[in-house]
Structure 1
Amino acid sequence: MRTHLTPLILAIAALGATAAQAQAPDASMIQLGSDIPAKWKKPEAGYDFVRREAMIPMRDGVKLHTVIMVPNQARGLPMLLERTPYDADNFVKKDQLTLRDTVGAAGREWVDDGYILVYQDIRGKYGSEGKYVMTRPPIGPLNPTKTDDTTDAWDTIDWLIKNVPESNQRVGMIGSSYDGWTVTMALLGPHPALKAAAPESPMIDGWMGDDWFHYGAFRQVNMDYFSGQTSKTGKGEKTPRAGGDDYQAFLDVGTAGNWAKQNGFDQLGFWNRLSAHPAYDAFWQGQALDRAVAAKPSSVPTMWLQGLWDQEDIYGAITAWEALKAKGKAGNNHLVLGPWYHSQVNRSAERLGPLKWKGDTAADFRRDVLIPFFNTHLKDRKPAEPTPPVLVYNGSENRWDKFSDWPGATSLTPIYLQADAGLSFQAATPGEDSYVSDPAKPVPFLAPPISFSERDRWTSWLLQDQRPLTTRTDVLSYKSPVLTSAVTVQGSPFADIYAKTSGSDGDFVVKLIDVYPASVAEQPEMGGYELPVSMDIFRGRYRQSFEHPTAIPAGVVQQYKFRLPPVNWVFKPGHRIMVQIQSSLFPLYDRNPQTFVPNIFFAKPEDFQKATISVQRGAAGASAVLLPVVPASTAVK
């Protein structure tokens, strides 16, 4: 038996040895390191562009993260620079083979026309070094350092023209909102290579009428922006809500100061500075860029853009343009007022709220006006038509109007409040109309429930039908007879309200409204629609001085006169003109306690009191809205 088993045993042993040898790891397999290479170079075959990233040094040694998108075979192309706090990496998609697919909708026309696109994180945000300061003021009393966004733009452009060999060493700057602010800052001391600029909806004066306040009334909608922008170097988080209704949430908390305290805003430097300066003092005056550009006007060809229904920055572009015009610099500064919400110039714009346009007004404008303007100065390519000094959309007649100057009206025509809720160009008989303003029941700017995060409602709130408010007893509505002839307005209306109050402070909201006929065959949903054409809010304590607020004497008639946003509109036959007056626009704007306190941010619950507001008519108290009426359009044919 042993003789027969021995070969089998030997065979099994041999097989075991072979298996062991097969299972033994190669020496290279047991030298484990990282599966991630020290430097990964992605193959670029198939891409029609090259993406470069650079940390561009500023004069103080801080380096700013910059993304440069260069088309393949580029030679002698201009550069388009956008400086942003919103993450330069976010402006260009990754893992796309074509530059057109990489950029957003507004960038594709620039790609097609042949531009090198440059996006840069401003200092202290996302990939850039340094300390972030919200809308860092120009070098001076409010900024004792030797750098600001003027010097940072200069240093960036200087580096680009020396380090991007595919360029023609000419740079244009563009950007909307905060990015429009960075464009404006660059114009305060422009690099010689900066040949054209377009601040779009720029934040120019945060107290008078852009993001933070309107004539002293605080825009609470920006509380989320403060935490989102300044709580982290990257993107911060929104303030959490207990429910889905911002109207109730802000009403329950009482004041913006209470909201800030409950949500840790005492850690945020910008909130602390803003809340310590509720009036238009040196803090705000020193960073108002309309004043700054007028003091240092540049010769850079500039196109100032703004939406006629811009829900965020409806003040800055036209105000900066007017300041430059007053300095004799209208020749190189152009004004464009489009039929857009905030930054819609960079999106599709076939409609706005209930209004429908002829085609995509934003894309058409970018292709036919904006890019040819840049090409004139960056490519020496003359446009088919010279860029008009002023271009304003006429929403009522659905067309662009060109002007040699703005406003079209040379004087203002009062339309007076009348008895029995009437409105007329004729003087009114003396009288008054009263309402009770109750801070516990503020007038909403949209029908509750309200969520600031609802984009569609937020972008169109300035065009919302005002009919739901006409039944409120704390809203006065004055309506003209049915018009038998057109009333054309071109310019900025003024509210001129005479009123007395039983309180010692108070706000005034004034709206100019186009009331449509009961039946509109072409668009039935517009039948009876009350369309706001222009509106704004004014905090009563600033009626005598924006810098030095004073209590309103109870029971004494006071004048409240303030400018409303610009219009280019025709009130057509069959329509009516309406003016509405109220004392709150909540929760977009904080509530006025209607008791004079040093700082409304920190008003106490007992400060909030009902007040009877009596609006005057006729004689010495001839309340009116002053309209920039023209006998016919002054547009250039």
Structure 2
Amino acid sequence: MKFNTITAILFSIGLVFTSCNESTTSKNETKKEEKKKEKKENNYVKENYDKKEVEIEMRDGKKLFTTIYSPKDKSQKYPIVMQRTPYSCRPYGEDKFRKQIGPSETMMKEGYIVVYQDVRGRWMSEDVYDNMRAVIPNKKEKEIDETTDTYDTIDWLVNNVENNNGKVGTWGISYPGHYATMSVVDAHPALKAASPQACIGDFWFDDFHHNGAYTLSYYKVNSLFGTPKDQPTDTAWYKFLDFGTKDQYQYFLDNTPLSKLDENYKNDYFWKQITEHPNYDEFWQKRGLIQHLKNVKPSVATMVVGGWFDAEDLYGPLETYKNIEKYNKDNYNTMVFGPWSHGDWAREKGKSLVGNVYFGDSISTFYQKNIESKFFHHFLKGDGSKESGLPEAYVFDTGKKEWKEYDVWPPKNAKKQTWYLQADQKFGTDKTSKEKISFVSDPKKPVPYSEDIKTVFTPRKYMTDDQRFAARRPDVLTFETEVLEDDVTLAGDILAKLKVATTGTDADWIVKVVDIYPADHEEHKDVQNHLKMSNYHQMVRSEIMRGKFRNDFAKPEAFVPNKETEVDVKLQDVFHTFKKGHKIQIQIQSSWFPLFDLNPQTFVPNIYKAKESDFKKQTHSVFTNSTIEFTVLEK
């Protein structure tokens, strides 16, 4: 009995050992397979595509460096998808391959001829670069702009690249998105589909400025756009600044006024352009692209893509979609907006998070497979009819956290509603007695845009950040509803019509729309350690308005001290449901640092030339006859 028991135990241990060995072997095999798969995936482009580098001559004789990836399988003809970029079409060398090509892995494996091009004056292309090069209407024979460079490139490609089917699509994110928009202006007949994504529309409202306020967080990388280069190069010729500190707030506070920063960019032509053109003058106006979208050919289908929480380019994609829609009624023109920060739809991290807010899983993959690839396939491989199977607006409700489809944007049942700033700093649909609420704005202690201490270019997460830190400052006014008894869905733009006064002669006005979560809101592990989702104040939308531009961006005007004055602040579209049990809060403040530069609160013709003595503490007031115009989805 004893013997049998010991034998059984030893046998059992032997089984465990065997099992462990088998398990270890199995794990090792799995790792080998995973590595083999990863290697194969990394080599997919090299194994399935041929690469060719060419220099395509433009109508003025300048040559633009272009990389062409063509499927090795020559049994069929393929459409061309092209991205023009100022950020390099690396890696250079016909024996060096990107790990992924095209808009997504899905499209890469579906088979397209994929083209990348260094735009004029960047990297390996000839000539001189010009930021947001202006469109030239009624061009003469040899005159060039980005529309002609795109036209000439497409013309060369369809006539010289083997196995192409004569149809071309363009895409790009951010600055490449701007060039994708350029492709639809005076478009080549072979261009059938364009997808401008997070596309810059106008540097006065995107990226480097917001309504006249300079986006100070961009200062660190100004050299990327303004360092001179006169020869083609395959290596970076610019260098980013080292602040010597991780505390960006303190660095810029110590370097106010802005003239202190000139020393870093003595030879930077873009910094010179910014500082010499403080108003929306002809220099900036002619670089805007939105006004050139009035005659987009019906033969070009457009799908504009953006992220509801894109801190860099939100104005551009929304205005691009709206203006193509407004002026080109017969065109196929659609929009896709998801719960993303800048360009997140081109990546897949599994969980979809912006800052501390979780929106779901594999949202980018859903977009790539079911929206983006479907669009390009239909117009470049399919019949190209208007019946693409996609809606006019594919939009994600960032409150309910679900996709919705509409045949028009804003939806037909979205109506304008006027909400009021009320006495006792309440907020709602009823008008109350007029009251003046004041706060002191001190340039030496500006309101930070985030609790985080870091040095970042184009901060992303602040777009959904917890705003409790701001709501509890004396120089931030808050107005909030009672606990909502029903869901309230905003679907469209927001207009704050403020009535304000200041003891100074200039002021910035920042308006934030905030979703206050209930105290019992569930927690999740991806939130920052110092925060809880209980009573979380999620920023839904925000914007700044430099007060002196309240009537005309080209002609600044001083405030009359202590005089009630109207200042409108347009906030970009949202699609967000404030759920039952939540509250809606409005925050109003006069600094947002160092996201944007400090207003001296004294009127100066050129803020970049302001002196330290111009920066003064002032008292600002907001009157409760101010209103917020929402676009509300009716049931």
TM superposition score normalised by structure 1: 0.86
Residues 592 and 608, structure 1, Cα contact 8 Å, conserved in 2: yes
What CA deviation, in whole Å up to 9, does each residue of 1:175-224 have, x standing for no partner? 011101111111111111111000001000111x2111111111012223
Residues 477 and 578, structure 1, Cα contact 8 Å, conserved in 2: yes
- How much does 1:102 deviate? 2.1
Change (3 A) 1:93 1:58: closer
Correspondence for 1:389: 392
Residues 335 and 394, structure 2, Cα contact 8 Å, conserved in 1: yes
Change (3 A) 1:405 1:46: closer
Change (3 A) 1:78 1:337: same
Match of 1:425 among 412, 426, 429: 429
Change (3 A) 1:243 1:145: farther
Correspondence for 1:244: 246
Residues 307 and 337, structure 1, Cα contact 8 Å, conserved in 2: yes
- How much does 1:83 deviate? 0.3
Change (3 A) 1:295 1:222: farther
Which amino acid in 2 is paired with 1:437?
S
Q: Does 1:135 align with 2:132?
A: yes
Change (3 A) 1:105 1:441: farther
Correspondence for 2:513: 512
Correspondence for 2:357: 355
- How much does 1:400 deviate? 1.1
What CA deviation, in whole Å up to 9, does each residue of 1:392-432 have, x standing for no partner? 11111121111111113554212211222211111021111
Q: Does 1:229 align with 2:231?
A: no
Match of 2:559 among 530, 541, 552: 552
Correspondence for 1:407: 410
- How much does 1:506 deviate? 0.3
Alignment of 1:449-464 (within 5 A): 449-453=453-457, 458-464=459-465
The secondary structure found in structure 2 opposite 1:119 is: strand
Which amino acid in 2 is paired with 1:508?
W
Correspondence for 2:58: 58
**Distance of 1:92 and 1:118 partners within structure 2:** 14
- How much does 1:107 deviate? 3.0
Q: Does 1:579 align with 2:586?
A: yes
Q: Does 1:439 align with 2:446?
A: no
**Distance of 1:268 and 1:361 partners within structure 2:** 40
Which amino acid in 2 is paired with 1:343?
G
**Distance of 2:299 and 2:502 partners within structure 1:** 49
RMSD: 2.4
What CA deviation, in whole Å up to 9, does each residue of 1:21-41 have, x standing for no partner? xxxxxxxxxxxxxxxxxxxxx
Correspondence for 2:632: 629
Match of 2:569 among 562, 566, 569: 562
Count, aligned residues: 575
- How much does 1:95 deviate? 5.3
Residues 105 and 346, structure 1, Cα contact 8 Å, conserved in 2: no
Residues 93 and 102, structure 1, Cα contact 8 Å, conserved in 2: no
**Distance of 1:460 and 1:267 partners within structure 2:** 32
- How much does 1:152 deviate? 0.6
Larger radius of gyration: 1
The secondary structure found in structure 2 opposite 1:156 is: helix
- How much does 1:67 deviate? 0.8
Alignment of 1:128-167 (within 5 A): 128-139=125-136, 146-167=143-164
Residues 189 and 298, structure 1, Cα contact 8 Å, conserved in 2: no
**Distance of 2:406 and 2:257 partners within structure 1:** 44
Runs of 4+ in 1 over 4 A off after TM superposition: 90-96, 140-145, 295-298, 381-385
The secondary structure found in structure 2 opposite 1:53 is: strand
- How much does 1:357 deviate? 2.9
- How much does 1:356 deviate? 2.2
- How much does 1:226 deviate? 2.0
Residues 225 and 270, structure 2, Cα contact 8 Å, conserved in 1: no
The secondary structure found in structure 2 opposite 1:271 is: helix
Change (3 A) 1:313 1:127: same
Q: Does 1:312 align with 2:281?
A: no
Consecutive unaligned residues of structure 1, counting only runs of 5 or more, are 1-43, 633-637
- How much does 1:60 deviate? 1.0
What CA deviation, in whole Å up to 9, does each residue of 1:435-460 have, x standing for no partner? 0011111111112523115x8xx221
- How much does 1:363 deviate? 1.8
Consecutive unaligned residues of structure 2, counting only runs of 5 or more, are 1-43, 230-234, 526-531
The secondary structure found in structure 2 opposite 1:393 is: strand
Which amino acid in 2 is paired with 1:319?
E
Which amino acid in 2 is paired with 1:220?
L
Bigger mean CA offset, 166-175 vs 516-525: 516-525
Change (3 A) 1:258 1:294: farther
**Distance of 2:183 and 2:544 partners within structure 1:** 31
- How much does 1:270 deviate? 2.1
- How much does 1:385 deviate? 6.1
Change (3 A) 1:162 1:237: same
The secondary structure found in structure 2 opposite 1:554 is: coil
Bigger mean CA offset, 297-306 vs 562-571: 297-306
Residues 324 and 330, structure 1, Cα contact 8 Å, conserved in 2: no
- How much does 1:494 deviate? 0.9
Residues 204 and 315, structure 1, Cα contact 8 Å, conserved in 2: yes
Correspondence for 2:370: 368
Q: Does 1:202 align with 2:199?
A: yes
